[in-house]
Amino acid sequence: MGLRIVPLASGSNGNSTLVEIGGTRLLVDAGLSAKALGVALESVGVAPGSIDWIVLSHEHHDHARGAVRFSRKHNVPLICSWPTLDAMEASPAHVASWQPLEPGRVLDLGKVTIDPFSIPHDAVDPLGFVFEGEGIRVGVATDVGHATARVVEHLQDCHVLLVESNHDDDMLRDGPYPWHLKERVRGRLGHLSNYEAAWLLEQVVGDNCCNVLLGHLSEQNNTPELAVESARKALARGGRDSIEVRVAERRRPSPAVEL
């Protein structure tokens, strides 16, 4: 049964990733419309109604846009923290059912556990996740202002990692964004640069790691080539050249990672 991860979309236009461990299907973030999520899932052979849980990292539209509607339409329970649900102006009555999530408290779903941890970002209760089941660890952390000790500690020794590699520092500095937006993106509650993502990977990657997915790339301030090169260089420094590094596609499903 094993593991299957399919990033359905990644970036400020919308984020959602199918994480399937031991037959349990999780939709991690739902930042497309409910309809677009359904289309994306069907395009990779997954019936929307077969999703077991939706898990949300934070309330920003590019992560939560379709969550409430998808939950109701396909009768899929929603897992997120109370502050996040509240910030979405939703309540448990608006969704099929709601399961609270608290940073630092592991949630046991039977075949999969979710270990949610706080990440620095300008949302009410932003979370990163480690999903674990069948002896496989999957780390997901996008929208990370900076890599804190907590982030580094949680993402240790994952088999597969999906981490943000948002911008190239030079492209952001010289690019078209207005000053206040540049400051937000590179601020400590903004987004992780290629350089910071590479540093984070160096800290957390262990012998078990076989796949790294780089996500949430900026369309204006990054290129897939720069992001991959930066991560590969960092991994090579630690003698980990054999790890596969890929970029999650922005607007369509990426090839599946399967273990």
CA distance 50 to 230: 37
Question: What's the min distance (Å) between Cβ of 29 and Zn ion?
Answer: 8
Question: What's the min distance (Å) between Cβ of 140 and Zn ion?
Answer: 12
CA distance 250 to 218: 9
If the CB atoms of residues 25 and 60 are measured against Zn ion, the closer one turns out to be: 60
Rounded (10°) angle between helices 194-204 and 224-237: 30
- Name the DSSP class of 184: H
List residues binding Zn ion (CB under 5 A).
60, 62, 143
Q: Are residues 156 and 204 in contact, defined by beta-carbon separation less than 8 angstroms?
A: yes
Residue nearest to Zn ion (CB): 60
Question: What's the min distance (Å) between Cβ of 190 and Zn ion?
Answer: 9
If the CB atoms of residues 128 and 133 are measured against Zn ion, the closer one turns out to be: 128
Alpha carbons within 13 angstroms on the beta-carbon side of residue 253 total: 20
Indicate the burial class of 46 (C-beta count within 10 angstroms; 0-12, 13-18, 19 or more). buried
If the CB atoms of residues 137 and 146 are measured against Zn ion, the closer one turns out to be: 146
Question: What's the min distance (Å) between Cβ of 142 and Zn ion?
Answer: 6
Look at the block and give the residue holding tokens 């987004």.
191
Question: What's the min distance (Å) between Cβ of 70 and Zn ion?
Answer: 18
Question: What's the min distance (Å) between Cβ of 61 and Zn ion?
Answer: 9
If the CB atoms of residues 115 and 143 are measured against Zn ion, the closer one turns out to be: 143
If the CB atoms of residues 24 and 166 are measured against Zn ion, the closer one turns out to be: 166
CA distance 25 to 49: 10
If the CB atoms of residues 4 and 251 are measured against Zn ion, the closer one turns out to be: 251
Q: C-alpha distances in angstroms, 155 versus 160, 162, 205, 220?
A: 10, 10, 8, 28
